[in-house]
Amino acid sequence: MSEMTEHNEQHQHEAEEAAAVETAKTVETEQAEPTYEELQARVAELEGQLKDSELRGLANEQNLRRRHQQEIADTHKFAGQKFAAEMLPVKDYLEMALLDQSGNFDALKMGVQMTLNELQKAFDATHIKEINPQPGDKLDPHQHQAMQAVVSEQEPNTIVSVMKKGYTLSDRVLRPAMVVVAKKEG
């Protein structure tokens, strides 16, 4: 009987192996390679996705460029807005001084001083600084403009006097100081 049991077990084992092979063939058939048409459809789908992504990227880049150009245009358009706002009180003080009919010289002088103080506040708020070299300073061609050279006891190319102060805006020269410089005799 044990021989028969072994024979049955072997037969059952062979049947299981045959079923496993058949199942594997079925799975293999189900996972068979896609057809040429299916591959073409998948390629077309992926190309469409890629094209869509590319178009979205280009649109985004164009929007950023347009926004950047608008910001630059607005910056140029309103660049002087802060300075203009700071200058309004200066204009008000000058108009009030012109309307004064009192003939009081001290009051007029005080009004002019108030106007100058207001102008200095506007300059400070907008980062405008004076270039006011002192006699004896070396001529700096980046900040000074020699308007005249005079014979002097000072070292040549040093400043003798200032004709007009210069000004900078955030370290950029708006107007160089106009100066008289020393030169050698002869």
CA 104 to chain centre: 52
Please answer whether residues 137 and 158 qualify as being in contact, where contact means their C-beta atoms are separated by less than 8 angstroms: yes
Strands 166-169 and 177-183: unpaired
Q: What pLDDT, in 10s, does the model give residues 80-119?
A: 888 888 889 999 988 888 888 888 888 888 888 999 999 9
Q: How far apart are CA 185 and CA 24, in angstroms?
A: 111
Q: Which residues contact 163 (CB under 8 A, 6 or more apart)?
A: 147, 148, 178, 179, 180
Extract the tokens encoding 16: 């299981």
Q: How far apart are CA 36 and CA 113, in angstroms?
A: 91
% of the chain at pLDDT higher than 90: 55
Q: How confident is the model at residue 140 (pLDDT cuts 50, 70, 90)?
A: very high
